[in-house]
């Protein structure tokens, strides 16, 4: 191991850094020239669809997967060729296999006993972990006698007991039912607040990423699509991929013609004849004639069909009452759009409605998917 030239003392170095990392499996490029920094004590989520390379990335940080090209640094030290056991990193896997014949106590202490820790040290550390994870009452039970959430906490306890500096979580909650997932999400947030440890958390669930992370890294086919805080990604997606991935139900995309761009405002022609004015960044090429207008369901609202402010008109195809809100699928000249209305709307399928558009929240995307 050697310090990076020019990095004095490493005090300001990120806790985890990947530099131009590529991972190939034969002809498959799972990670493609990816650079990423993770600050000490931060909670970073790696978010992306199945197969985009999330687990591969995590396993490379843990040292479980060889890097084909590029480097991995911990605290400014190149660990690209350092064995996993020497990295002070603990990983919680998606399919956490607890030893079925061992009690909670034995499962948690197992890695310590392997490492040759004394009985006393094993006991002390196991109790410390059990206290943090509120498992004290379950220390003598076997996994079959625990609930899903308790088992999940034992799996986290096995990582915690090693006093790692970096926690890697690979979709740790995906086996749990929806209610337990929400509960465990809160517990993980508390754990992070208590330990101040660096956590990198893989998920394809954008709600988990949005609620837990201070920084989200969205991956698209082995590359970084965007890095930012949850609200940055939500409000200012850099491209259509991120815009579509963050937010539920997903953003609507409407084909539009660009008629003018002036003073940072683009005027677009909507299918059906109306126009809208949308803010654009930088200086979008005037040559861009067509674009897609991205509008989130909550930025469309129902108005009467002949309302002068209606940007679109359409026929309601499906109404979904969720109690606190209503989702309406409306067939318009721009295709079917999803509209989020209040819980008590009285609209029915087959009704003709107008939709007004909150222009300040709409985004424009060019043909290559980049935000204009």
Ligand X SMILES: Nc1ncnc2c1ncn2[C@@H]1O[C@H](COP(=O)(O)OP(=O)(O)OP(=O)(O)O)[C@@H](O)[C@H]1O
The least distance separating ligand X from the CB of residue 23, rounded to whole angstroms, comes to 8
Q: Select 34 or 293, whichever has its Cβ closest to ligand X.
A: 34
User: Which does residue 1 bind out of Mg ion, ligand X, none, counting CB within 5 to 8 angstroms by kind?
Assistant: none
Q: Is 6 helix (H, G, I), strand (E, B) or coil?
A: coil
Q: How far apart are CA 322 and CA 277, in angstroms?
A: 32
150 touches Mg ion by CB under 5 A: no
In Å, how far are 13, 32, 139, 232, 354 from 278, measured between CA atoms? Answer: 40, 34, 59, 18, 19
What single DSSP character describes residue 45? Answer: E
Q: Select 63 or 172, whichever has its Cβ closest to Mg ion.
A: 172
Own/partner pairs, 118-122, CB within 8 angstroms, 24+ separation: none
Query: Residue 98: exposed, middle, or buried by beta-carbon count in 10 A (0-12, 13-18, 19+)?
Result: buried
In Å, how far are 127, 130, 291 from 161, measured between CA atoms? Answer: 9, 9, 53
Alpha-carbon torsion angle 79, 85, 88, 89, nearest 10: 90
User: Which does residue 25 bind out of Mg ion, ligand X, none, counting CB within 5 to 8 angstroms by kind?
Assistant: ligand X
Q: Select 68 or 71, whichever has its Cβ closest to ligand X.
A: 68
Q: What radius of gyration do the chain's Cα atoms show? A: 25
50 touches ligand X by CB under 6 A: yes
Site string for ligand X, 5-44 (x = CB under 6 A): --------------------x--x-x--------------
What phi and psi values does residue 69 have, to the nearest 5 degrees? -155, 150
The least distance separating Mg ion from the CB of residue 167, rounded to whole angstroms, comes to 16
Interface residue with ligand X, options 53, 172, 237, 294 (CB under 6 A): 53
55 touches Mg ion by CB under 5 A: yes
Q: Select 48 or 366, whichever has its Cβ closest to ligand X.
A: 48
The least distance separating ligand X from the CB of residue 243, rounded to whole angstroms, comes to 20
DSSP 195-233: H--EEEEEES-HHHHHHH-SEEEEEETTEEEEEE-HHHH
Q: How far apart are CA 24 and CA 185, in angstroms?
A: 33
Q: How far apart are CA 255 and CA 245, in angstroms?
A: 19
User: Which does residue 239 bind out of ligand X, Mg ion, none, counting CB within 5 to 8 angstroms by kind?
Assistant: none
**With CB under 6 A, what is the number of residues at the site for ligand X?**
12
User: Which does residue 301 bind out of Mg ion, ligand X, none, counting CB within 5 to 8 angstroms by kind?
Assistant: none
203 touches Mg ion by CB under 5 A: no
**With CB under 5 A, what is the number of residues at the site for Mg ion?**
1
The least distance separating Mg ion from the CB of residue 127, rounded to whole angstroms, comes to 33
Q: How far apart are CA 369 and CA 239, in angstroms?
A: 5
204 touches ligand X by CB under 6 A: yes
Q: What number of H helices and E strands is found in the chain?
A: 8, 20
Segment contacting Mg ion by CB under 5 A, of 49-57, 64-72, 243-251, 320-328: 49-57
The least distance separating ligand X from the CB of residue 153, rounded to whole angstroms, comes to 22
What single DSSP character describes residue 108? Answer: H
Segment contacting Mg ion by CB under 5 A, of 50-58, 190-198, 205-213, 223-231: 50-58
Binding site for Mg ion (CB under 5 A): 55
Binding site for ligand X (CB under 6 A): 25, 28, 30, 48, 50-56, 204
């Amino acid at each position: 191991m050697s310090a990076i030239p020019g990095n004095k003392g490493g005090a300001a170095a990120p806790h985890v850094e990947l530099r131009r990392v590529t991972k190939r499996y034969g002809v498959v490029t799972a990670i493609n020239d990816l650079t990423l920094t993770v600050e000490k004590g931060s909670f970073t989520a790696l978010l992306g669809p199945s197969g985009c390379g999330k687990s591969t990335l995590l396993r490379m940080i843990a040292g479980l997967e060889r890097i084909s090209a590029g480097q991995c640094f911990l605290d400014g030290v190149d660990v690209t060729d350092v064995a996993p056991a020497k990295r002070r990193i603990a990983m919680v896997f998606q399919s956490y296999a607890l030893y079925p014949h061992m009690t909670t106590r034995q499962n948690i202490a197992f890695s310590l006993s392997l490492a040759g820790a004394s009985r006393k040290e094993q006991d002390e550390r196991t109790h410390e972990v059990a206290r943090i994870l509120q498992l004290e009452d379950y220390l003598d039970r076997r996994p079959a006698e625990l609930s899903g959430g308790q088992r999940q906490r034992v799996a986290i306890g096995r990582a915690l007991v090693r006093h790692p500096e970096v926690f890697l979580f690979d979709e740790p909650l995906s086996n749990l039912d929806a209610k337990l997932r929400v509960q465990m999400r809160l517990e993980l947030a508390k754990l992070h607040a208590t330990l101040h440890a660096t956590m990198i958390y893989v998920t394809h669930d954008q709600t988990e990423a949005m609620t837990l992370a201070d920084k989200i890294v969205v991956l698209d086919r082995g590359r970084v699509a965007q890095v930012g805080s949850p609200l940055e990604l939500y409000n200012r997606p850099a491209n259509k991929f991120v815009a579509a991935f963050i937010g539920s139900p997903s953003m609507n995309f409407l084909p539009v013609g660009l008629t003018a761009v002036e003073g940072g405002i683009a005027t677009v022609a909507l299918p059906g004849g109306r126009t809208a004015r949308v803010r654009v960044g930088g200086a979008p090429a005037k040559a861009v004639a067509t674009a897609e207008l991205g509008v989130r369901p909550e930025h469309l609202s129902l108005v009467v069909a002949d309302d002068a402010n209606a940007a679109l008109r359409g026929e309601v195809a499906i109404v979904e009452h969720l109690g606190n809100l209503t989702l309406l699928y409306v067939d318009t000249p721009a295709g079917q759009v999803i509209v989020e209305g209040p819980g008590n709307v009285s609209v029915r399928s087959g009704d003709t409605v107008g939709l007004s558009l909150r222009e300040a929240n709409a985004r424009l995307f060019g043909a290559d998917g980049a935000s204009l």
